[in-house]
Structure 1
């Protein structure tokens, strides 16, 4: 019996194209399950967790009554967290610190002073620092929160019943027990 017949089949049973496709499929499945990145992420999830506080800067949040919105958020004491478009879940809200809106005003002596912004539309805009607290996985190059590395500058969204807005991380502090 010939190894290849007239139709290109191996030993009269297997097509060379089907055999090649089968080998590629087995290699792809093996690559998925034996990938080193998969074992690394599983190891990160099962490791020790550490209490962490994260400061998030919210710039230019526009709301009809920012003070009432922040009072509502603070009363809820928890918020849903989205890190780099990956939902994390609920996280504790520690504090909300509104920042004053100011404008630089040139002085007659050539200096500059920061004074409260008198524009009426700025009453609807707020800059705020929000402090969150949760459990994170420490790694040699930072912290992992919800399988996403968390570093200064990481974009974050906060979502609740009546709000969804974004900001960026400005500080990460481990909390000592």
Structure 2
């Protein structure tokens, strides 16, 4: 008995084209489950990821607002945009507001810090905002609606009266 017969069947039972099609489907399925895609996490990682409460510290530099104390409030539910894509809602847990500082040297060389008069004149302030939400935790870090959040990630928050752009300073879970 020959390995291939005249009709292209292996051992007279299996068509080479059918075997090729089945092998292609198996390889594609393995690729989807094992190999990471553009997001950096494979389907297998996302399916096995555990969901935890995640806190993200967001740094905002030079926010131009007349009254930043009454703009973002603790307890607000705001929309989060990560890399300019909507990714759900988060809760504001903490807001720290500071006026940008400048440094000057005394006659003896010791530094003196005081509020930047340009920032005060233009109503600019720096904010440190802590956001909290549930996210999936993979071996690559926290994933909000299929988007990884790491230190330096561009984050926007949108409330009823504002859109504030900043970046992640810390991610805790």
User: TM-score by structure 1 length?
Assistant: 0.69
2:53 matched residue in structure 1: 51
CA contact (8 A) 1:54 1:173 kept: yes
1-structure distance, mates of 2:171, 2:110: 36
CA contact (8 A) 2:152 2:168 kept: yes
Per-residue deviation at 1:148?
A: 0.7
Matching of residues 2-17 of structure 1 within 5 Å: none
CA gap of 1:85–1:118, structure 2 versus 1, over 3 A, is closer
CA contact (8 A) 1:66 1:125 kept: no
1:129 matched to 2:128 = yes
2-structure distance, mates of 1:45, 1:163: 35
CA gap of 1:75–1:135, structure 2 versus 1, over 3 A, is closer
1:95 matched to 2:94 = yes
Per-residue deviation at 1:119?
A: 4.0
CA contact (8 A) 2:75 2:93 kept: no
Find the partner of 1:68 among 67, 70, 84. 70
The total of aligned residue pairs comes to 142
Per-residue deviation at 1:68?
A: 2.4
1-structure distance, mates of 2:63, 2:127: 8
1:83 matched residue in structure 2: 82
Give the CA RMSD over aligned residues: 2.6
2-structure distance, mates of 1:132, 1:97: 12
2-structure distance, mates of 1:144, 1:120: 35
More helix by share: 1
2-structure distance, mates of 1:65, 1:112: 30
2-structure distance, mates of 1:120, 1:86: 30
CA gap of 1:53–1:120, structure 2 versus 1, over 3 A, is closer
